[in-house]
A and B are shown apart, each in its own frame.
Chain A
Amino acid sequence: MPIPIDFALIAHQESWRAAADVLAVLRGPYLAPIPDDDLKEIFPWFPPRAVCHIDHRSVLGHSVHGIYIDSFIPPDRLAHKYRHENIERVRDAAACAIKAGARIVSLGGFSSILIEGDSDLLPEKGETVFTTGNTLTVAFVVKGIKKICALQGRDMGEATLLIVGATGDVGSGCARCLAPLVKRVVLNARSIDRLRSLAEELSAGGKAVDIATDLQQLSVQADIVICVASLESPSLLLGRLGPNAIICDAGYPKNLSPVDVLEDCTVFFGGLGQSLGGMSFEPDVHRVLHRHPFPNVGQGCVMEGMVLALEGRFEPFSQGRGFITPERVQEIEAIAARHGIHLAPLYNAQGPLEEVACETEGSADERQIAAPGRAV
């Protein structure tokens, strides 16, 4: 009897290092790792398929069972010119999830971007529903910003918030949630028309909103920056920012270029949740898929499908682009919290930004926050 599949996660690796690690787990402990050149030659040809099974436990006691499906989009082929082949990979991955009988599927990372959140572009679905997972991502980005501001004693009401990738699904959701809480909002993306229409919507609420396609133009005024542009690689250079700026990089792959010098800023990776009930992976690719310094941490987008499965709400909670509202964010956050899934402890490339009491696996009892100090 095949095991019923409550949820599936469709995702891809953000670096060749991560891809190599996945392959190393599949090869097992006795075979030498595949040399990098061979890996890059072979990996892109794998048809999408399940890489591991996942059990996710709710703090309420029950658990759900799912699969992680890799679309095997090569980490260096996320650019627009590969869009068609990548859409095919996402469609193939979706077909895998449907064939496995998954009841709900999260479209992680670029999977939802490629199909613009439109699950009508996916194969015949039967009973399977799809969610972009972006509402829970927005919830965790917003919570992270609030938390770090609180821990640093910053007055959000006096802050200028800059969102890079503001007109995207995650960016616009963050803008709607945070605009009422800050003094001023600056929106950045490439298309001026979409920036204008989002600015119109936000300023209708009485907020001061500026738009800029040239990032350097207004970044110097920013106290808080959210980076959620759909960049194919970490290439974003923010330039000068306001003093002691807070920067949340929620891109996958990361937005911020490792060469950007961000003096006196606090950088953290956003959009991440942690499950107190815990997750187990078979084969054990947990550390490979979730490359975080804390256990049981995952991206909001992939967590959303698991949360909905734990709640028994098999519905396309997040669909399309630009429809994420503060009410829906609150709703998914409350569902997640009920099952013990909360904002993950904050960290960046240098390590944790918080001291976390971590005696027992999955305990996220935070105590204090590090002083500002930049890191990417």
Chain B
Amino acid sequence: MEAVTTLKCATADNANPISSTASIWQDVLAQAVTGELIAVLNYTSLAEICEDPDEVADALEHAESERGHAAAFTAEGGKLGIVVPNNVNAKYWKRLRTAFLRQIDARGFIGCLIIQEVMLESFAVASYKRVGQVAPGSLGNTFAAIAAEEEDHIDHAMAILRAERALDVQRFDDKVYALHIEVMTILAQMFAREDADGHCELCHGSCVKQSLPVVGLTSSELRGVALQHYLRTLDMLGLPGELTLVWVAQLPV
């Protein structure tokens, strides 16, 4: 599997002993950094299949910006005196990356945008926003600022996707549904109350979900805001709300 060499890849074992809230932030940041690194990999792969030089430049620029996000989150960990681990091979993230690579292999530019911008970003933006509201000081500000940046860069992709949908509505909606089944099922499992498949391979102890209330978060709320953001994003693309409601209602819990 790929190595992400630009950031020091720490593991929980070599992290310093830290206070209880810092250890929760450590796990939250580990998920965020890993998600950003997956985005770096995804945009870099996307650049390789783009034909239009402008799109290539755009994808590489996105990859750079996601790398900046990962660095910013890692730096926030540093301010709390923690080393933030990351692991793009952790169970759920690896499955998400694999799903994206299937689109790359098929040179499916549109499929890639749907996975990265509609699905992964929905979860990132919604949960960063929520974390931004409760995390103290610069940690909160960083989450909020990155959520805003993610939202900004989604506009361009949305315009491309809307134009694509206009060409053949049924084909587009079928494609979104197929990717929904593949990708959203993974995200739903990742955000579920319990990890059905065992440890997520990122949290440094037992799963951080149970400890989130200590810092003013709950996993249920993060799942809720993420699914809501996803449904609203699909609304913006023009998919019928009654259809996407059924899709989301059928996700695993």
**Chain B residue, CB-CB nearest to A30:** B250
* Cβ of B3 under 8 Å from chain A: no
CB closest residue in chain B, given A39: B253
Contact of A50 among B223, B224, B242 (CB under 8 A): B242
B246: contacting residue among A26, A38, A44, CB under 8 A: A26
Min CB gap B252→A, angstroms:
9
Residue in contact with A41 in the complex, picked from B223, B231, B249, CB distance below 8 Å: B223
From A26, A42, A96, contact of B241 by CB (8 A): A96
Within the complex, which residue of A26, A45, A50, A67 is in contact with B228, where a contact is CB–CB below 8 Å?
A45
- A38 near B253: Cβ-Cβ < 8 Å: yes
Interface size band for B: 20 to 34
> Is B91 among interface residues, defined by CB-CB distance under 8 A?
no
A41 touches B232 (CB 8 A): no
CB of A28 within 8 Å of the partner chain: yes
CA distance A23 to B231 in the complex (A): 16
Within 8 Å of chain B (Cβ to Cβ): is A35? yes
Q: Are B193 and A38 closer than 8 Å at their CB atoms?
A: yes
Q: Is B227 an interface residue (CB 8 A)?
A: yes
Contacts of A67 in B (CB 8 A): 242
- Least Cβ distance of B179 to chain A in Å? 20
Residues of A within 8 A of B221 (CB): 41
Instruction: Please judge, given known A-B contacts A26-B250, A47-B235, whether A41 and B241 are in contact too, CB under 8 Å.
Output: no
Given A26-B246, A37-B193, check contact A46 B253 (CB 8 Å): no
> In the assembled complex, which residues on chain A have CB atoms less than 8 Å from the CB atom of B227?
42, 45-46
Cβ-defined contact, A49 with B193, below 8 A: no
Interface size on A, residues (CB 8 A): 21
Enumerate chain B residues within 8 angstroms of A45, measured Cβ to Cβ: 224-225, 227-228
B228 near A49: Cβ-Cβ < 8 Å? no
Is B250 a contact of A51 with CB atoms below 8 Å?
no
> Which of B193, B220, B245 meets A26, CB within 8 Å?
B245
- Of the candidates A26, A45, A96, the one having the most CB atoms from chain B within 10 angstroms of its own CB is A45
B250 touches A28 (CB 8 A): yes
The answer to whether A34 touches B228 (Cβ under 8 A) is no
Q: Would you call A49 and B253 a contact (CB within 8 A)?
A: no
Answer whether residue A27 sits at the interface, using C-beta atoms and an 8 A cutoff.
Answer: yes
Pick the contact of A46 from B193, B223, B240, B245 — CB < 8 Å?
B245
When C-beta atoms are compared, the residue in chain A nearest to B246 turns out to be A26
Q: Are B249 and A27 in contact (CB under 8 A)?
A: yes
- Measured CB to CB, the residues of A under 8 A from B are 23, 26-28, 31, 34-35, 37-38, 41-42, 44-47, 49-52, 67, 96
- List chain B positions with a Cβ less than 8 A from chain A: 193, 220-221, 223-225, 227-228, 231-232, 235, 240-242, 244-246, 248-250, 253
Top 4 A-B residue pairs of the complex, sorted by shortest distance between their CB atoms: A49-B241, A45-B224, A41-B220, A26-B249
